[in-house]
Amino acid sequence: MAINLQSHEVVLLKALQDGKEKIVDVLAAALNVDQSALVRASLTLQKEGLAKVNEKETFIVKLTKEGEVALKNGLPEKQLVQEIIRIGPEAKLEFVKFDGKNVAIGYAKRKGYIDMDKTDKGVIIKITRKGKDALKSLSPEELLLKRAVTTKKVTRQELELLKSRRLVDFAFRIVRSVVATPKGVELAGCIQVKKQVSRLTPQLIKSGGWRDVSLRKYNVLAPVRQIHPGKRHFVNQATDYVRKVWLEMGFREMTGPMIQTGFWNFDALFVPQDHPARDIQDTFFVDVKDGSLPENKIVAGVKKAHEEGVCGSTGWQCKWSPEMARKVVLRTHTTVLSAQTLAVLKKDAWPCKYFAIGRCFRNEALDWKHLFEFNQVEGIVVDENANFRHLLGYLKEFFGKLGFERARFRPAYFPYTEMSIEVEVYHPERKAWVELGGAGIFRPEVVEPLLGVNVPVLAWGPGFDRIIMDYYKIRDIRDLYKNDVKQLRGMRQWMTG
C-alpha cells in the first residue's frame, strides 16, 4: 500500500536519511519548521514504520543567588567558620555579620563545626577541629553542586537535596529525538521534496507551476495536539442540570443571600433557640453588626409559636429572645429561602411550587467526606389539596430524572416538618441504598406565622454533592473544589456520558 506523506513529513524523512538519531527541537531550528508541526510529523512517520521517536526526561538546573555564592565562596557553614577565624578564635555572636548567618549557624552546629557557649559577656562561638578540617577540602554537597551545574549528571533525589538548601531550582523537560528506520532510510532516497499546495489556483494553471507541486491530501487520522476548549466547572454543570429538571417540572426558582439572620435561618423554621445547631460548634457566625428583623406581625407570630404554640401545639415553652434572632450567620440550609418566600406569598398565588439551589455552610471537621460547605436542593409546594403522597411523587420524579429509578423513604425527625422522612435512592453499581437528605410537610408552627394561615406546604432539602461525586467517580469530597486543571480538563460533560 502506498504511503501518503505530507510536506513536513517528507522534509523530516529527508533530514533523517543518514540514519542518525537527531533531537526534534534542534531539527526544527535547522529546517526552519515549527516544532509542534515537526513533532506531529515524527509521530506520523513512527506510525507508518518509517521512524522511531524516543522521549527522555531531563532536568533544567538553575543556580539560585545563594547557590552562586556557595559555588564561589563555599557553603554558608564554611563561610561562618572563615568569618570566625577572621574575628578571632572565640568570636562573640554579635560580631559575626554576613548574609545568611542564621542559616549558617544551624548547619554548622548540626555538622559539628562550632560550639556555642552562653556567658555573662554574651554568646561565644568556638570552632571545633572538625570545622577547621572542613576548610581543607570540598564537602560532598559542594561537589554535588559543582556536578549539578557542570556535568548535569545528577539524580532527582540529589537535586531535591540542593533545592532544600535553596542552592538550585530545577524543572523537568521532555527531550524528543527521532531516528529513521531502515525502511525510512530506503524511502528517503527515493522521494523528492516538492512544494505541497492545498488547492490549484489560476496562477498555478496559467504558469504551468502545477507541474512542480503536489496536491496535499488531508489525513484525518494524523495525530494532532490535544485542544482543551473552555467549559463550565463540572459542579456548575451539575447545578445547571438540576435547575433544568425543576423548571421542567413547573417550579419557579427562589434566590437569596448566603448571609442570613438567625431569625430566618432558625427561628422562622421553629428551631428552638437552645438547639445544638445554633452553637458555634455547628454554625458559622459572622462578626458583623446584628441584623434586622422583619415586620412586627411576622416576628410576633414566630415569638408566639416558640413560647405558646399555634394551631393547638404548646410551642417550646421557653422565652424567645429577639437579640439571639438578630445574630448573623452563614446559612446552614437553603430552607431559609423557603421561609422567606412563604412570608411574602399572597393567597391569590396558591397553588404554587418553588425550588432553590444553593451553597450552605456548617462548621464541620474537614476530611475526605466532609466539607464546611455543600450544595443543597430546596423545594416547596403550597397547595390546600396537597398531601404526603404528593410529596413522595415529586421526590421520585426528581431523582428519577437524575438517573435513580428506585427511591425509598423512611421516617425521620426535623424540628420544622411533620411528617418527616429521609430520602434514600438505590445505587445500581454499589447494590446499596444511599441516603441523600430530608423532606416532609412544614409544621403549623412554621406555616401559620409566615403565611397567616395553616395550609399544607410540602418541603424537601436533599444535598446533591454525593450525586456529583458518584457521577464523576470522585472518592474525596475535597476534589470537588480543588480546581486542578488536569482534573477539570478530563471531566466529561454532566449527564452526557
Q: Distance between CA atoms of 265 and 254, rounded to whole angstroms?
A: 15
Residue with cell 494553471: 205
Q: Distance between CA atoms of 366 and 356, rounded to whole angstroms?
A: 26
**Do residues 77 and 253 make contact, with C-beta atoms less than 8 angstroms apart?**
no
Q: Where are the beta strands (DSSP E) in 162-225?
A: 168-180, 195-197, 213-215
**Do residues 329 and 348 make contact, with C-beta atoms less than 8 angstroms apart?**
no
Residue 418, SS3 per DSSP: strand
Q: Distance between CA atoms of 372 and 179, rounded to whole angstroms?
A: 55
pLDDT along the chain (497 residues), means of 10: 70 86 86 84 88 84 86 86 78 73 84 84 82 86 86 80 86 84 86 70 85 72 77 91 94 95 95 88 89 92 94 92 95 95 92 95 85 92 95 94 90 92 87 88 96 94 86 87 85 73
Would the CA dihedral through 200, 201, 207, 213 be positive or negative?
Answer: negative
Query: So what's the pLDDT on residue 386?
Result: 95
Q: Distance between CA atoms of 181 and 175, rounded to whole angstroms?
A: 19
Q: Distance between CA atoms of 481 and 232, rounded to whole angstroms?
A: 13
Query: So what's the pLDDT on residue 497?
Result: 46
Q: Distance between CA atoms of 110 and 130, rounded to whole angstroms?
A: 12
Q: Which of 383, 393, 375, 376 is nearest to 249 (CA)?
A: 393
Burial of 341 (0-12, 13-18, 19+ CB in 10 A): buried
CA dist list (Å): 108 to 130, 146, 160, 300? 10, 21, 20, 74
Q: How do strand 328-330 and strand 407-411 relate by DSSP bridges?
A: unpaired
**Do residues 63 and 170 make contact, with C-beta atoms less than 8 angstroms apart?**
no
